[in-house]
Structure 1
């Protein structure tokens, strides 16, 4: 990088820093979403919620499928509302 380019590009340095930080955050979120340990903790929490009676069997199955889809990278199915399930 030349001296003139460095001086003229200096005002954009904060923008580059924010973009780099945003990219770093995005990478960490992706890693956490697809981390097997994270998915396992979520599945255990779902199982605990079902055992405590906080969610129904249908909600448990749907939440488990969403967690497993995140792990395998399968495309997401649109969530169905309770009204749609009865039809």
Structure 2
């Protein structure tokens, strides 16, 4: 952006900053929600809750299905956006 545009947009800097922070928080929350280690830890906690009688079978199955879908279908992100195409990492490189 040019200097003139920056000067004109200066009054909106707090709003732009707030939007940027909200975007960063949403990206981090999504990354943590899809981290396989965290999903597996939530699955273990879910199994413990079922074993201890804290939740019923229906709630267990619903949450377990949701968590397993996260593990089976992770969304690769590039620059905060879902990646297009299906590329896989092999010993030879990306395909």
Give the structure-2-normalised TM-score.
0.66
Quick check: 1:34–1:71 contact (8 Å CA) kept in 2? Answer: yes
Instruction: Tell which deviates more after alignment, 53-62 or 12-21.
Output: 53-62
Tell me the equivalent position of 1:81: none
Distance in structure 2 (CA, Å) of the matches to 1:3 and 1:61: 57
Please say which structure displays the higher CA radius of gyration.
Answer: 1
Alignment coverage as a number of residue pairs: 74
Structure 2: segments with no counterpart, 5+ residues? 75-95
Quick check: 1:33–1:71 contact (8 Å CA) kept in 2? Answer: no
Which one has more relative contact order, counting CA pairs under 8 Å at least 6 apart? 1
Distance in structure 1 (CA, Å) of the matches to 2:64 and 2:46: 7
What does 1:1-87 correspond to in 2, within 5 Å? 1-73=1-73
Larger strand share, 1 or 2: 2
Distance in structure 1 (CA, Å) of the matches to 2:34 and 2:24: 16
Give the structure-1-normalised TM-score.
0.71
Distance in structure 2 (CA, Å) of the matches to 1:33 and 1:61: 18
1:49-79: CA deviations, max 9, x gaps? 11111122332222211111223348xxxxx
Output the aligned Cα RMSD: 1.8
Larger helix share, 1 or 2: 1
